[in-house]
């Protein structure tokens, strides 16, 4: 059986594709899994490489291959071999999954939280009973909508104890560990790393013994940190430059003031797990921290709104020369005003669980919030408890998703 997983950006590849593919292979070894990655404004450019490194994935069709197939009819070998199978939508624009379904004459299922194309998918796999009820109220057939839980939770595995993790990186267990997650796209790394390092310098003045970690996305190469230069970004983002150096076998970003941030390239869940607090931008990072019960501060800088990816027509218009960036600035500002929350735990709770700092912001704004939290252990404890409540979602999503895919594939 051929399974084609259509996906788009970093969070979906690691949070959804990986656990679903692994469980499918466990259940049916002979299953052939191809990950299809159409072009997407939210992509990092590394999706095909990272997806290809997932052991359960047999082949990857990247954006350029997909476009050749779409417009030139050039079929990847995995498409030619498909006689029986399923198209699985796991992020991006569901239109691509349905297009493949039509062309390959295979049924399609979707792991999705907003109802779209209700007539064409054979199954909708959703996060919760609340979402299921919403789908049915909007006209989806009851038998089509199945609650499976959160795939991202199944994809998270902490394999070392806190003690082992501290020893692994040579960290001191008795002192604060503060981690930065600057994102998974090159522009995010370029802008947010100097921004977060400046915040770290301000935090260190108040808590001199703090230990700082910079947790890299698997979609970002360490070499990209060589371009971190706060001075060149001073017009839009306050920040500090840093040099990437190897000390005692460990890579660190070191600022002129001497602040050191240990660069974490592996065991990211273990790193988040031992952190007393993380500082991040919105995205999958906020969900991972929620499930690990790690308090966080979420920075949403609108200092350079034209660099923020947008869906559909807005994204295309924003890419136009000269006027595109001006139009996109206004769109981003309007969109920001229209949404109440950007961090996933706040969205799910429909109230502020973790602080969001949004607008034209400076590192000092983030540092002030972090320092306030660190001085209030009771606030951190309360946040941990609230995050754990949100994390109590349906277990075993990957197992249920795999069962549904195999069931539809055997029709």
What is this structure's pTM? 0.83
Structure letter (DSSP) for residue 108: E
Digits of tens for pLDDT over the chain (411 positions)? Answer: 999 999 998 889 999 999 999 999 999 999 999 999 999 877 778 898 999 999 999 999 999 999 999 998 898 988 887 779 999 999 999 999 999 999 999 999 999 999 999 999 999 999 999 999 999 999 999 999 999 999 988 888 899 999 999 999 999 998 999 999 998 888 788 889 999 999 999 999 999 999 999 999 988 888 888 767 655 555 566 788 889 999 989 999 999 999 999 999 999 999 999 999 999 999 889 999 999 999 999 999 886 655 555 454 444 444 556 565 566 556 556 655 667 899 999 998 999 999 999 988 899 999 999 999 999 999 999 999 999 988 876 678 999 999 999 999 987
Matching residue, tokens 């267990």: 173
Helices (H), 138-231: 151-154, 162-169, 186-206
**Helix-strand-coil percent breakdown of the chain, rounded to 5?**
45, 15, 35
SS3 204: helix
Q: Tell me the CATH number for domain 2-150+394-409.
A: 3.40.50.2000
162-300+365-391 has the same fold as 2-150+394-409: yes
Fold of 162-300+365-391: Rossmann fold (3.40.50)
**Structural domain boundaries in the chain:** 2-150+394-409, 162-300+365-391
Check the CA dihedral 321-325-331-335 and report its sign: positive
Report the C-alpha gap between 2 and 373 in whole angstroms. Answer: 50
Report the C-alpha gap between 325 and 323 in whole angstroms. Answer: 6
């Amino acid at each position: 059986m051929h399974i084609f997983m259509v996906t788009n950006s970093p969070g979906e590849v690691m949070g959804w594709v990986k656990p679903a593919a692994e469980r499918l292979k466990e259940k049916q070894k002979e299953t052939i899994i191809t990950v299809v990655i159409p072009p997407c404004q939210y992509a990092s450019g590394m999706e095909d490489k990272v997806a290809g490194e997932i052991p359960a994935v047999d082949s990857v069709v990247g954006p350029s291959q997909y476009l050749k197939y779409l417009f030139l009819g050039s079929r990847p070998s995995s498409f030619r071999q498909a006689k029986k199978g399923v198209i699985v939508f796991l992020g991006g624009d569901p239109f691509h999954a349905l297009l493949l379904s039509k062309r390959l004459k295979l049924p399609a299922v979707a792991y999705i939280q907003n109802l779209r194309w209700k007539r064409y998918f054979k199954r909708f796999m959703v996060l919760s009973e609340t979402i299921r009820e919403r789908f049915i109220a909007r006209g989806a057939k009851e038998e089509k909508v199945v609650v499976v839980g959160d795939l991202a939770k199944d994809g998270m595995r902490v394999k070392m104890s806190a003690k082992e993790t501290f020893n692994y990186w040579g960290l001191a267990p008795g002192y604060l560990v503060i981690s930065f997650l600057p994102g998974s796209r090159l522009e995010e790394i370029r802008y947010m790393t100097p921004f977060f390092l400046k915040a770290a310098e301000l935090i260190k003045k108040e808590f001199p013994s703090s230990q700082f970690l910079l947790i890299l996305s698997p979609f970002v190469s360490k070499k990209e940190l060589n371009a971190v230069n706060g001075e060149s970004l001073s017009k839009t983002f306050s920040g500090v430059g840093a040099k990437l150096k190897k000390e005692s076998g460990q890579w660190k970003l070191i600022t002129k003031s001497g602040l050191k941030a240990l660069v974490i390239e592996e065991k990211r869940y273990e790193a988040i797990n031992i952190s007393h607090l993380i500082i991040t931008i919105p995205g999958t990072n906020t969900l991972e921290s929620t499930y690990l019960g790690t308090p966080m501060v979420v920075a949403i800088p609108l200092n350079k709104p034209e660099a923020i990816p947008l869906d559909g027509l807005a994204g295309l218009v924003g890419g136009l020369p000269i006027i595109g960036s001006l139009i996109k600035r206004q769109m981003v500002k309007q969109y920001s005003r229209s949404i109440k929350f950007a961090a996933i735990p706040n969205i799910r709770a429909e109230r502020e669980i973790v602080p969001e700092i949004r607008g034209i912001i400076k590192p000092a704004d983030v540092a002030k919030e972090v320092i306030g939290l660190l001085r209030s252990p009771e606030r951190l404890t309360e946040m941990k408890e609230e995050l754990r409540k949100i994390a109590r979602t349906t277990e075993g999503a990957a197992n249920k998703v795999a069962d549904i895919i195999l069931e539809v594939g055997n029709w």
